[in-house]
Every structure is written in structure tokens, then in C-alpha cells.
Structure 1
């Protein structure tokens, strides 16, 4: 059974089973062939071998249980007075497994078990005077004569060596554990970066789709409003006013061709980076196009015209285009449209004022106003829409401010 935080394995971990069986077989052979266990029956000795073998078998699947079984084997050995055996070297596999695969509490407990186990083994071996302790190679491992000649120095040297032997596999397991965690965190970081890049790409794609929809709305909406106005005015012309009919049809055709060209220009600009929406015509062309429909329009330009960069030039053109489209679509045919372009040192202010038709008025449910706001906000501009009611109806005033320099 695994502790919380330990990796859960499905099925049988055959490497652990193999290590456990090999340990069990070696222990059985050692019990029958070598008398190094001291006192105790064969059954008592086999219990120790079984505990060590089971601990070794669980080093990967249940490191916490393997650590507990290791201490049970040590306790059984001390309680029964058994000497050390070669088979107990399999506990080094347990030290590796607890550091490599154990839960955090298992790692800490196994780390504390290394010096504790080394101290217990040394004290137990000294008290029993076992062959292992008696033949410990102090003279080869300890260079200091003072340490070799003193009992405490010899015991300290033995403790360090035993602890180093126990700690080596534990440190190796811990290093591999940290390396795996680093690799896993690096993979997670790369995955998160890839997901963020995909999300950014999707956001840019959706923004591009929204910009395309706004451009097409502004272009087609304006052209259709002009075409409808021309068509409405043409049906009231007399039969002998063939020249004015031809002029209306010519304006309709020109508006349609212009709209088609603008749409093509917008679509082709999607391949360019950064996207600017194409080079627009002069702002004067928009009021002139409204006049061609026969609708009265008064245009005023004040101040000294300044320079607009590519993006602001496009925004100014599209916003004024949408303002005039709304005025033409929702305004009264008997009332003039007032267009005011005011240039200052730091901004261009566009203002369009129109009376609403008796059954008109802006619904506010389309793309026009939100599209203008988005365009203006992209360059640090603002949009204000005001309505004034009186006895004869209502007057709508749309005011857009476009800064000449980035804020």
C-alpha cells in the first residue's frame, strides 16, 4: 500500500518482484550454507531473510512500507540476537527506493534512518563482538594514528564508513528524484508556454476576424446606404428627367464599384503585417459622396489640418464613413446633415449632426457604434453620442476625437 504522495503503479512491478525473489533465494542459500547468524533456529533466521526480501521487493511500489519492513527486520535481528548477514545488503536497495520514489515524509524518515541505522548497526556489532566488527579495516581506512589507537576514534571512523555506505544509494535516489522533478517542471513550463502561444494566436485570429467584420460592415453599409438613397430619389424623378436618372444610376454604379474595391483592399491587406486596412481616400470624398445622392449636407473644416499616421488615417476615414452612414440611414431626408472637422494641435475632432426621421432613430443594436468605439480606442480616441429632443423630433450628434500623437 502506497503512502499519500507516492507514485501509484498499476499491476505488478516485476523488477521489484525480481529483486525480492533474488534476495529471498540468496538468503535461503546463505542460511543453509554459512553459519554467521549466531544463535537462533533456522525458522528465526528465515523470518529475517523474508522481511529483508519483502522490503527489497517493495522498494518501488511501496517505499514507505519497505522502510517500515527494514526497521522490523532490524528489530527482529536485535531481539533474536542474530549476527549480520550478506543478504542484508539488499537494504541498500530500500534506501535508494525511499529517496527516489517515496513520499515526502518517507524521504525525510529514510534520510534520518541512514545515520540512525548506521549507529544502531555499529553499537550492536560492538556489543556482540561480531566477526564483521572485529575485522573492520581501521588501519587501511583511517590514516590518523591518534584515531586508530583510540577506541572512540575507531568507533567514530566505523560509524562514518557505515553511514557513507548507507547514504550512497539514498543520495543517488534523491539526486535522480530531483532531476526528474526538474525535467517534469521544464516539460510543464514548455507545455504552458505552448498553450499560451496557441491562446495568443487564437486571440489574434479572433481579433482579426472582428476587424474584418467591422471593415466589411463599414464599407458595405456605407455603400448600400448611398445606393438606397439614390434609388429612393430616382423613383420620384419625372420621365423627362432622364439626365438625372442617369446621374443617379451612375452614382449607384460608382458606389458599388467603390465598395467592391474597398472590400478587396481590406481582404488583401490581411496578408500584410502589421495590418493597416489599406490606404484610404481623402476625408473630403465622404461628404461629396453623400451630396451625390441628392441629400443636403453642410461641411465645415476649422483649424489647420495636421498629419495623421497610417493607422489614425484609416480610423478617421472609417469613423466618419460610419457616422455619415448612420445619418443617412436613420436621419430625416428633409433635414441637412452637418459635418464639422475641427483640427487642433493635438487632435482631430469629427462631429456629425442630423435630425432623425419621424419613424427613425438609431436602434443601438447594430455594429456601428461598438465598431467606432473599438476603432477609436485602438488609437487612444473617444466617441460621444448625444441626443437632443424637441417638439419636432430629435437631433443626434456623434463626436469622435482622434489624437494626432500616441498618448
Structure 2
């Protein structure tokens, strides 16, 4: 029934209504016989139409009702159309532009029915006054009906066009907000995945090194010293990666350098330094430079798979196989599991690896196979990509 309006909109509508009063009242006084007391009726009509104009955007249905009330009072007093009737066009415009669905169609019906009422009112007075229903009279009535319907429907149609434009703008703004929210959520998921990959892998290596150093400290202090050096190096690298991710969270800056295939040797060295027997088989080797997205996906999947092997394998040997075909790369990480351990029971590692694969259009599988835990993935690189 009532629409919320901004302050400037209320001010504009009140100013329009006041200007309408200032123009319509003098013109209304000039219509009719003042000796018959028509001034009061004219003032009443102008005030009703001015009120309709003042609230046309705040409450289109009430404004439409006031417009009909003003028209009924005007016809009941037998007054001819005057400048005050211009307010009807503003009301019809508002019903189409700002009204609910019911008010929207009520405005349309009012425009059509109002044209009929205007025609009947004007020509019935002519006939009662002694006129006849000649072909000329009928033609004039039809012409008046068409003209009145055209004028009233034109005001309503302009409002309908404004309504369509307003809804299109709202839909566009809602779509932009939804797209922005989706982009923010995707960025949060990406950063969370990167944080997990960096922190989980580094902590797994640090824990393995710390455990080994604690057991070896009593018999061989040099082993403990070497383990502490490895822990320090890995922790510093992890801290640097975390700082890059935090920078992305604080500022809208380009991402820092991402891992590539050249960084795999360092990753393998960290795992071997934790005491794991790591066997790497690359056949065939990449013939060129694979896309950066594929290199990052391969690195992160291997990083998480090797982290799981450290965490759940208890130091058992790990086999890594990479096969770089012209159109895809296939990788596999196989390791024994300690009794009672399974990478899928907790954490987000397997989920993150699957997301990494899907991001580049590939797929990933992770399952037990004869007592081994096997992570396998195939990632497309495009036919002849990187050659």
C-alpha cells in the first residue's frame, strides 16, 4: 500500500503538487458560473487531484482512488474537463511505474474505462441538451473515445516502460552482487586450499623431522642437528608462503610466484629428509613447458599426497609416477598405510586435491588398493600444449 521514499523524492512530489495547485486553482475559478456556487466544487476538485499527485509514488493505489474520486465529483457537479484533469495522467503513470501487479493492471483498466466514461459524459450532456445521434455525432464520439484512450494509455505505457527499466536495473544490480559474492567465495576457497596445502605439508615434514631428531639425539647428536636445520628451512619457507597468502587477504594485489615443476625436486628433498624412501618415475617426460595452471595443480596434488603419506604411512616407501602425454598428464602416488590410518577419515586434503584437479578440467581418485593407498589423477594439458 505504501512505498518507502527518499527525502528528496518526497520533497519533489510535494513541490509538484504545490505547483499544480498554483496553476490549476486560478484556471478552475474561470470555469462555470460563480453565482451558482461552483467555486467550492472547483476548489474541492483541485485539492483532490493535488493530493493524488502528492502521494502518487508513495501510495499508487490511494492516488488512483483519489483520481477517480476527483473525476466523480467533477462529473456530479456537471463541470467540463479543466486543467486539473492533467493530474490523472501523472497518477496513471505512477500506477504503471511503481504499483504492485494489481495496481499496475488497475491503472490499465482505469485508462480504458476512463476513456469510455469521458466520452459518455461529454456526449450524454450534449444529447440531453437537445442534440441528436447523427452520424456526425457518432463519428465525433468515436474520435473522442480513441483520443482519450490514446492519451490515457500513453501515460500508463510510459510508466510501464519506466517500470521495466527499473526492474532491469534491479536485476542487473542483483546479478552483479551475486557475481561479486561468488567471486569472493571462490577466492576464499582458493586461499583456504593454498593455506591447507602449504601449512599441512610443512607441518607434516616438521613433525617427522622432530620425531626423528628426538629419537636420534641420544645416539647421534649430528643427526639431531641436521634435522633441526631441515626443520628451520622448511618452517621459514612455509612462513614465506603464508605471508604471501595473508597479503592476498589484506590487499587486492596480484598473487605471488606459484610453484612449478622446477620446485618438485625441493618437495621431494623435503620428503626424503623426513626419512621416507621416495621413488620417482617420470615416463614420458614433458616435451615442452606445460601450462602454468597444470604445473600448479600437479605440484599441489603431489604435495598433499606426499603429506598424507608422511602422516599415515609411518615412514613406509612411497612411489610417485608421472606420465606426460601430449594431451594429458597422469600421476600416481602409492604408499602403505599404518593400521588404523586412512587419509579420508579427517581433514580436507582429499577434497582439496579433487578441487585442484577439477579446476583444470581433470579428475582425481583416491582409494585403498591391496593395502596401499593410491592417489591417481589425470589432468588435460591440450593436444600438443607446451610443444
**Shorter-chain TM-score: what band?**
0.7 to 0.9
Q: TM-score, normalised by structure 2?
A: 0.73
| CA–CA distance in structure 2, aligned partners of residues 8 and 215 of structure 1 | 46
Output the CA distance in 1 between the equivalents of 2:344 and 2:141. Answer: 89
Corresponding residue for 1:301?
Answer: 282
Distance in structure 1 (CA, Å) of the matches to 2:233 and 2:338: 27
Q: Does 1:257 align with 2:239?
A: no
Task: Give the Å deviation of 1:366.
Answer: 0.7
**1:340 corresponding residue in structure 2:** 321
**Any unmatched runs of 5+ in structure 2?**
53-61, 96-105
**Could you tell me how far apart the structure 2 residues matched to 1:91 and 1:240 are?**
106
Q: Which residue of 1 aligns with 2:378?
A: 401
State whether structure 2 residue 258 is matched by structure 1 residue 278.
yes
Separation (CA, whole Å) in 1 of partners of 2:272 and 2:300 = 18
Matched residue, 2:166: 187
RMSD: 4.3
* CA distance in structure 2 between the partners assigned to 1:336 and 1:357 by the alignment: 12
Give distance in 2, aligned partners of 1:330 and 1:124: 103
Q: Deviations over 1:97-141 (max 9, x none)?
A: 67445633222210222333343233233349xxxxxxxxxxxxx
Q: 2:360, 2:256 → 1: CA distance?
A: 12
How far 1:53 sits from its partner (Å)?
A: 6.7
Alpha-carbon distance in 1 for matches of 2:280, 2:226: 22
CA contact (8 A) 1:122 1:159 kept: no
Summarize the Cα distance change of 1:97–1:89 in structure 2 as closer, same or farther, 3 Å threshold: same
- Say which of 223, 228, 240 aligns to 1:244: 223
Change (3 A) 1:375 1:273: farther
Q: CA deviation at 1:215?
A: 0.9
Find the aligned partners of 1:237 and 1:100 in 2 and give their Cα distance: 87
Please state whether the residue corresponding to 2:281 is helix, strand or coil.
strand
Aligned to 1:114: 118
Task: Indicate the residue corresponding to 1:368 in structure 2.
Answer: 349
Q: Map Cα deviations across residues 165-221 of structure 1 (whole Å, 9 max, x no partner).
A: x83xx7555444433443344334323322322332222222212211211211111
Paired with 2:320 and 2:182, the residues of 1 have a C-alpha distance of 36
Shift of 1:283: 2.0
1:133 paired residue number: none
The 1:185/1:301 distance shift into structure 2, 3 A limit, reads same
Match of 1:136 in 2: none
Report if aligned partners of 1:330, 1:360 keep a CA contact under 8 Å in 2: yes
Is the contact between residue 299 and residue 338 of structure 1 (CA under 8 Å) also seen in structure 2?
A: yes
Is the Cα–Cα contact under 8 Å of residues 29 and 42 in structure 2 kept in the other structure?
A: no
Determine the structure 2 residue equivalent to 1:350: 331
C-alpha deviation, 1:356, in angstroms: 1.2
Offset at residue 371 of structure 1 (A): 0.8
SS at match of 2:33: helix
Change (3 A) 1:105 1:200: same
Distance in 1 separating the partners of 2:87 and 2:240: 78
SS in structure 2 of the partner of residue 117 of structure 1: helix
CA–CA distance in 2 between the matches of 1:93 and 1:222?
Answer: 76
User: 2:21–2:46: 8 Å Cα contact kept in structure 1?
Assistant: no
Pairs within 5 Å for 1:118-157:
118-127=122-131, 152=134, 155=137
Count the aligned residue pairs.
351
TM-superposed CA distance for 1:332, in Å, is 2.6
- Answer whether contact 1:266 1:277 (CA < 8 A) is retained: no
* Stretches of structure 1 lacking an aligned partner (at least 5 in a row): 34-45, 78-83, 129-150
1:197 aligns to 2:176 (yes or no): yes
Instruction: Measure, in 1, the Cα distance between the counterparts of 2:4 and 2:295.
Output: 63
- Number of the residue aligned with 1:132: none
Q: Which shows bigger deviation, 89-98 or 380-389?
A: 89-98
- Aligned-pair distance for 1:384? 0.3
Cα pair 2:326 2:382 within 8 Å, conserved: no
